[in-house]
Structure 1
Amino acid sequence: MKFKSLLVGLGLVAGISIAQAEEPFKVGFVYVGPIGDHGWSYEHNRGREELQSFFGDKIETTFVENVPEGADAQRVITQLAKAGNDLIFTTSFGFMNPTLKVSKRFKKTTFEHATGYKRSKNMGTYTLRTYEGRYVSGVAAGMLTKTNTIGYIASFPIPEVFRDINAVYMGAKTVNPDIDIKIVWVNTWYDPGKETDAANALIDQGVDIMLQHTDSPAPLITAQKRGIKGIGQASDMSHFAPDAHIFSIRDNWFPYYLKTTQAVMDGTYKPQDFWGGFKDDMLNVSSINTNLPIEVRAKIDETYNAIRSGELKPFTGPIKDNSGKLVIEANHTLTDKELSQVNWYIEGIKAKMPN
């Protein structure tokens, strides 16, 4: 019996190979919204599903959705670490400090935090150059607006959101010197009711092109109902508003999830600050409306290709903020570290900074 137990332990009984007997590599994900938000969390979960499909039974993935930023996040991340996950991805800015705290307790677990800037020996950070997509969005909005007024539904006053608002305005300004941008802050990532109210408030101010940093399709649906145009956020939202939809900027997290998971499995992982964008195929212009004027479609393609190739780098000086202060010197392009610290509106944006 002892000999049989030994064989069982080695995976050599009943045709079971040692490889088959090994525990799968476990990967956990933490989402700030529901996977059905059709935006940010939806696309993170889509990346998880593609990761699971790629590795099959070699890995086991789990996720927790609708996790509030703060103490609840730390509790959830701790539970995933205690459950034996080898790698944990936390996917919202407000998860940064909770992830860092848990990483110091579970040093054999690898942690990856999306959109943050704090790292440790077993914790890296990753984000998307969403400002690239916003710049293209601004170009399209600037060409298509009839009121010269575009709107932006902003989530939280963090560098990522300031970067993207500025990028929209910069892109629009290149094709429309008379452009104005109205901004409504909703202090949420996902709340269809608040997003609808914000969209209506913007339209009442003369906005005829809607952009958003929130995750539900509610703003685009509102745009459709009220006869204006809009751009989808994070995922392809064309089916929610086929007439209003100009295009969507889609996030594609799978390439990074695959690369990172493989590195941890191989023992080659090193924490870093990773930024993915057009050139990495982690950001895509999706479902461009076939009804767009030819010149608008051509300009979208031209701008996308210029950014992807590196010919166009949006945050290149000289650039002043809206108080007149020089924030980017002439011929200087913001580094990733500097991009992560943007907390100003670009010159020409008339809005006041949120408290």
Structure 2
Amino acid sequence: MKKKVFALVLCLALVTALVIGLVACNPEEERVVNLQPIAKDDIKIGLICLHDEQSTYDKNFIDAMKEAVNELGLREDQLVIKTGIPENEKCYNTAVELVEQGCNIIFADSFGHEDHIMRAAEEYTSVRFFHATGTKAHTAQLGNYFNAFASIYEGRYLAGVAAGMKLVELYGDKEDGKVSDENAKIGYVGAYPYAEVKSGYTSFFLGVRSIVPNATMEVKFTSSWYDEAAENATAKSLIERGCKLISQHADSMGAPNACKEKGIPNVTYNVSTENDCEGSYVIGSRINWAPYYKYIVEATIKNETIPYDWTGTLQSGSVELLELGKAAAQGTAEKLAEVKAALQNGTLNVFDTNNFTVDGKHITSFLADVDDAGDYVPETEVVENGILKESAFRSAPYFTLDIDGITLLK
């Protein structure tokens, strides 16, 4: 009898050890996400920013968050903002610090923050983590990690329309309004040759071309999101090359100040420079993050399901034009209202493949690296019915084409 009992105990011990071993071999089975509703008074938000408010990019996130907190009726102590957080281990450490301070919603604003925020999300399963411009939430499906962006290419296109009208005002023929090839040359200060930047400058260029069909554009990269000296010097070099108008996807006042100094029209991103650069500022565009901030807080309070990947639009108020500058051409406001309505009702599409060529040909297909497995291998067809559908299969841009009419400078 004792032998049978001993054998039974031994058997149970072996089974228990086997189960523990199996769980240890598959740590994902140990990770349980159990998000709960959080009362409004208990909400605490942590915002992680790459730079501070001197960066127009980060200022846009910070201003929108403060606006959302105010409109939601949250207290000031329910928001903690961390600035100057680089895209490295410090981002993860900052996220952990925010969790320890009681934050239950954490949002990071820069592309390179993603892996570090995901690491924190994997560990702190009762906290909701959000990341702007990221690409991995829809495939990782961690349960508490989410990506968001907006169809800002529509805002860039509209800004391009305003830029085209300015070129016509300055250089258009008195009889037919045509602009000479020499005067139809514009410049663009880009940070990096990433999809987000390519999508932005291409949509801006297509907006210009909708008004000035023979427009050409030179793009030069600074290899930095925020480098005021480099952005200023790059804008000036483009002006010296004969560019008659400058826009940018860079985060300082470098390019706007260069345009002001040289008397060249400028189209901005994220903030209006009308007060500082009156006479050269034409218009700008930005992503308004306040609607998304409010949405995720309200969803957290109600414990509603939040999509892993969210794209804001003109309709949601997430894509905005900044104020029209005094330097804008007469009739610009009316034209922008017309074009915006067409974008909203679907009769106009920014990346209609009839409106651009690559190596002299209209494209009929384009595979994009939507799932971002780290191998940079495109796997998703994103052209449907003659439209390249940017930010439809994933919120973060995946447009990487180099279209005719745009020259990338070294």
Q: TM-score, normalised by structure 2?
A: 0.75
CA distance in 2, matches of 1:178, 1:65: 43
CA distance in 2, matches of 1:291, 1:341: 33
2:63 to 46, 50, 70: 46
Do the aligned residues in 2 keep the contact of 1:123 with 1:271 (CA within 8 Å)? no
Q: After alignment, is 197-206 or 335-344 more displaced? A: 335-344
Do the aligned residues in 2 keep the contact of 1:122 with 1:271 (CA within 8 Å)? no
Unaligned runs of 5+ in 1: 1-20
Unaligned runs of 5+ in 2: 1-38, 172-182, 367-382
Alpha-carbon shift at residue 41 of structure 1 (Å): 0.9
Do the aligned residues in 2 keep the contact of 1:278 with 1:284 (CA within 8 Å)? yes
What's the counterpart of residue 182 of structure 1?
218
Aligned to 1:260, what secondary structure does the other structure show? Answer: helix
Structure 1: which amino acid aligns with 2:358? D
Query: In the TM superposition, what are the counterparts of 1:302-317 in structure 2 within 5 Å?
Result: 302-317=338-353
What's the counterpart of residue 240 of structure 1?
276
Aligned to 2:46, what secondary structure does the other structure show? Answer: strand
1:337 to 393, 396, 406: 393
CA distance in 1, matches of 2:337, 2:40: 48
Do the aligned residues in 2 keep the contact of 1:217 with 1:232 (CA within 8 Å)? no
Q: Does 1:191 align with 2:248?
A: no
CA distance in 2, matches of 1:200, 1:22: 50
What's the counterpart of residue 253 of structure 1?
289
Do the aligned residues in 1 keep the contact of 2:147 with 2:308 (CA within 8 Å)? yes
Q: Structure 1 runs of 4+ off > 4 angstroms?
A: 322-325
How far does the alpha carbon of each residue in 1:184-242 deviate from its partner, in whole angstroms, 9 at most, with x for none?
Answer: 10121212111111111111111121111112222112101101100121122211201
Aligned to 1:265, what secondary structure does the other structure show? Answer: helix
2:408 to 348, 351, 355: 351
Alpha-carbon shift at residue 296 of structure 1 (Å): 3.6
1:321 to 358, 366, 387: 358
Label 1:22 to 1:130 Cα distance change in 2 as closer, same or farther (>3 A): closer
What's the counterpart of residue 266 of structure 1?
302
Alpha-carbon shift at residue 246 of structure 1 (Å): 0.5
Query: In the TM superposition, what are the counterparts of 1:16-31 in structure 2 within 5 Å?
Result: 24-31=42-49
Q: Does 1:138 align with 2:135?
A: no
CA distance in 2, matches of 1:139, 1:325: 22
Do the aligned residues in 1 keep the contact of 2:162 with 2:283 (CA within 8 Å)? no
What's the counterpart of residue 24 of structure 2?
none
Q: After alignment, is 300-309 or 80-89 more displaced? A: 300-309
**What number of residue pairs does the alignment pair up?**
332
1:226 to 258, 262, 277: 262
Aligned to 1:278, what secondary structure does the other structure show? Answer: coil
Alpha-carbon shift at residue 167 of structure 1 (Å): 0.4
CA distance in 1, matches of 2:266, 2:119: 39
CA distance in 2, matches of 1:31, 1:311: 37
Label 1:269 to 1:58 Cα distance change in 2 as closer, same or farther (>3 A): farther
Aligned to 1:178, what secondary structure does the other structure show? Answer: coil
Do the aligned residues in 2 keep the contact of 1:121 with 1:271 (CA within 8 Å)? no
Structure 1: which amino acid aligns with 2:393? K
Q: After alignment, is 308-317 or 181-190 more displaced? A: 308-317
What's the counterpart of residue 294 of structure 1?
330
CA distance in 2, matches of 1:84, 1:56: 15
Label 1:55 to 1:212 Cα distance change in 2 as closer, same or farther (>3 A): same
Indicate the percent of aligned positions where both proteins have the same amino acid. 22
How far does the alpha carbon of each residue in 1:260-294 deviate from its partner, in whole angstroms, 9 at most, with x for none?
Answer: 01111221132421111322112222221245333
CA distance in 1, matches of 2:211, 2:387: 23
Do the aligned residues in 1 keep the contact of 2:148 with 2:310 (CA within 8 Å)? yes
Q: Does 1:65 align with 2:83?
A: yes
Larger radius of gyration: 2
Structure 1: which amino acid aligns with 2:249? H
2:207 to 141, 146, 171: 171
Structure 2: which amino acid aligns with 1:141? A
What's the counterpart of residue 122 of structure 1?
144
Q: TM-score, normalised by structure 1?
A: 0.86
Do the aligned residues in 2 keep the contact of 1:125 with 1:272 (CA within 8 Å)? yes
| Superposition RMSD in Å | 2.4
Alpha-carbon shift at residue 317 of structure 1 (Å): 2.6
2:93 to 60, 66, 75: 75
Q: After alignment, is 121-130 or 293-302 more displaced? A: 293-302
Q: Does 1:110 align with 2:128?
A: yes
Do the aligned residues in 2 keep the contact of 1:238 with 1:248 (CA within 8 Å)? no
CA distance in 1, matches of 2:43, 2:385: 49
Do the aligned residues in 2 keep the contact of 1:24 with 1:57 (CA within 8 Å)? no
Label 1:58 to 1:73 Cα distance change in 2 as closer, same or farther (>3 A): closer
Alpha-carbon shift at residue 324 of structure 1 (Å): 4.6
CA distance in 1, matches of 2:384, 2:301: 43
Alpha-carbon shift at residue 176 of structure 1 (Å): 1.4
Q: After alignment, is 314-323 or 242-251 more displaced? A: 314-323
What's the counterpart of residue 8 of structure 1?
none
Q: After alignment, is 171-180 or 343-352 more displaced? A: 343-352
Aligned to 1:238, what secondary structure does the other structure show? Answer: coil
How far does the alpha carbon of each residue in 1:45-90 deviate from its partner, in whole angstroms, 9 at most, with x for none?
Answer: 1122123323233971101112111222222223223333101011
